[in-house]
């Protein structure tokens, strides 16, 4: 029964509702609707495994290494950058970057895979951060995916300084916002 009206439901049919009320723009279901469903809790998805499978399916041979770099990058972004609603470092955003990387790889099969992935990352990250690309400069994208011979960043390998890059970027953007005269 729903709102005083009897509704016939076939026993072979399941009705499911996926809720993520913490996600921007979402609202809670009314209690009267919630009462009709059995709650189920899902675990947090394994982003590294999702990256690995997605990259392999897109034809990346170095998928294991690149999946690790992607998960480090997104984890640091979620932890270090502002929690504003327009920042989205979740699975949906990550998956869209991986799909874009696959398209770029098919379009430029001779480019190194880390360069392809960085090119897929760059536009979405610059847009998400609402900053000029120069503010990110040599920080996370370039440290994780850089390649000297293609002119897209710094040498690979060193990860311990990345949290500091995020902090500097965040502090720099805050001071930039504070110094901007009201307009």
Return the pLDDT at 50: 95
Span 22-65, pLDDT tens digits? 666 677 788 888 888 888 887 888 999 999 999 999 999 999 99
Name, in order, each residue with C-beta under 8 angstroms of 144's C-beta and a sequence gap of 6 or more: 69, 72, 73, 118, 156, 159, 162
Residue 173: which domain range?
47-179
Is residue 122 within 8 A of residue 141, CB to CB? The reply is yes
CATH number, domain with residue 101: 1.10.8.710
Euclidean distance between CA atoms 56 and 58, whole angstroms: 5
User: Does a structural domain hold residue 36?
Assistant: no
Answer whether residue 35 is part of any domain.
no
Indicate whether 23 belongs to any domain.
Answer: no
Q: How far apart, in whole angstroms, are the C-alpha atoms of residue 46 and residue 51?
A: 9
Calculate the average pLDDT of the chain: 73
Q: What is the pLDDT of residues 99-126, one digit of tens each?
A: 999 999 999 999 999 888 888 887 666 6
Give percent of the chain with pLDDT exceeding 90. 21
16 assigned to some structural domain: no
Is position 38 within any domain?
no
Report the Cα 174 to chain-centroid distance in Å.
Answer: 22
User: Total structural domains in the chain?
Assistant: 1
pLDDT band at 1; cut points 50, 70, 90:
confident
Determine, yes or no, domain membership for 22. Answer: no
Residue 37 lies in a domain: no
Residue 26 belongs to a domain: no
């Amino acid at each position: 029964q729903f709102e005083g009206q009897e509704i016939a439901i076939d026993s072979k049919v399941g009705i499911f509702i996926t809720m993520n009320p913490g996600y921007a723009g979402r609202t809670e279901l009314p209690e009267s609707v919630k009462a009709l469903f059995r709650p189920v809790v899902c675990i947090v998805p394994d982003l590294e495994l999702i990256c690995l499978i997605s990259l392999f399916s897109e034809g990346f041979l170095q998928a294991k290494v690149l999946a690790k770099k992607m998960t480090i990058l997104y984890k640091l972004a979620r932890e270090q950058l502002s929690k504003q609603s327009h920042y989205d470092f979740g699975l949906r955003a990550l998956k869209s970057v991986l799909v874009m990387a696959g398209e770029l790889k098919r379009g430029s099969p001779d480019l190194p895979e880390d360069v392809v992935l960085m090119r897929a990352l760059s536009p979405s990250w610059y847009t998400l951060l609402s900053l000029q690309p120069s503010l990110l400069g040599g920080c996370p994208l370039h440290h994780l995916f850089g390649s000297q011979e293609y002119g897209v960043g710094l040498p690979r390998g060193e990860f311990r300084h990345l949290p500091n890059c995020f902090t500097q970027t965040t502090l720099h953007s805050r001071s930039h916002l504070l110094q901007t005269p009201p307009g």
